[in-house]
Amino acid sequence: MGIEDEVSPNAVKIYKSMKEMAMLSEEKMGTAERITQSARLPKTMVMNALQELQTKGWARRKVREKAAGYYLAK
């Protein structure tokens, strides 16, 4: 069962965008702003997709001083 079966099309687009930018570990995580620019979707859609990916266990969020960082867990 792949990611396409578990999450919405927007979440799949965000997942692929994060994978292309190599956000695969905590050391290489990126901000929602960077993901928004890469995916070329409105920020609210990106935030909803990131929330969905977190809920399903595909992505993780790390709170930092200025902006939260996101990276892929699977």
Tell me the CATH number at 18: 1.10.10.10
State the pLDDT confidence band at 4, using cuts at 50, 70 and 90.
Answer: confident
- Residue 51: which domain range? 3-72
Task: List for the chain the helix, strand, coil content (%; round to 5).
Answer: 55, 10, 30
Could you report the per-residue pLDDT of 26-60, keeping only the tens digit for each? Answer: 999 999 999 999 999 999 999 999 999 999 999 99
Q: Is the CB of residue 62 less than 8 Å from the CB of residue 30?
A: no
How many domains does the chain fold into? Answer: 1
